Structure formats: C-alpha cells, structure tokens
Amino acid sequence: MSKKKYTVQNSSFVVPTTDGKVIKEHFGNATNKNSEISIAHMVAPAGWSEPFQTPEFDEYTFIIKGKKQFIIEDETVILEAGQSIKIERNTRVQYSNPFTEVCEYIAICTPAFSMDLVNRED
C-alpha cells in the first residue's frame, strides 16, 4: 500500500486569544507540528490591534473581507478585500484593524508562525 501524498485538514486548531481575534490554524506548529509553513484563517474585530513586532518569518496575507492596516517600518499600508501582501522576515510591522467592520483574511508564514519567532514589543 502506498503512502497518501496529500492531507485533508478537516479541523483547524483554534488559537486562544484575549483580544477578540479569531485564529484558526489549518497547518502549522499547533495543528500538525509543521515548522516550515503555517496557514491560518483569521477574523479581526473592528478596533483590533497588535503590538509592533519583528518576526523571523515571511508573512503573506490575503484579505477576504474588510480592510487591514499594516504599519511597515514607518509606512502605513491599508489593504482591502482581494488584495494581498508579503512582508519579509526581520521587518518591523504592526497589524491592526482600526476600521468599523470586521476584517477576514488568510495568513501564511514561512517558516511557520511561532511565539518564539514573532518578537513582539512590550
């Protein structure tokens, strides 16, 4: 019998948060111990923000619904539904949703997201 060459993910790992953001990891460290890539479906409530961080991974974001603000180094970028961005590792960034509507998006990190690699500021 040959080994399957695909994996169907039927249940995501819901990452516990305290800021109202919903994070459902489909592949990555928390779900299947994959440290090479993480893929997560996110829902950020209106008014949500994270501290600045300088992650040791590349992060790709695809906006499904709403808008998301990125402060990258000293530049503010706002993406809307249908747009995507790649932010290279070791770049100082702050993610937020200062808008009045929910933002739904997909985030892909390589290597996979890890609290040890995110380097959030206090």
Q: What tens digit of pLDDT does each residue of 18-77 get?
A: 999 999 999 999 999 999 999 999 999 999 999 999 999 999 999 999 999 999 999 999
Q: What pLDDT does residue 27 have?
A: 97
- Please give the mean pLDDT across all residues of the chain: 96
CATH code of the domain covering residue 80: 2.60.120.10
pTM, entire model: 0.94
The count of domains in the chain is 1
CA-based torsion, 119, 121, 58, 96: positive or negative: positive
The answer to whether residue 44 sits within a structural domain is yes
Q: What pLDDT does residue 72 have?
A: 98
The answer to whether residue 94 sits within a structural domain is yes
Q: Which domain holds residue 35?
A: 18-118
The answer to whether residue 6 sits within a structural domain is no
The answer to whether residue 38 sits within a structural domain is yes
The answer to whether residue 3 sits within a structural domain is no
Residue type, 74: D
Q: What pLDDT does residue 29 have?
A: 96
Tokens representing residue 1 in the block: 């019998």
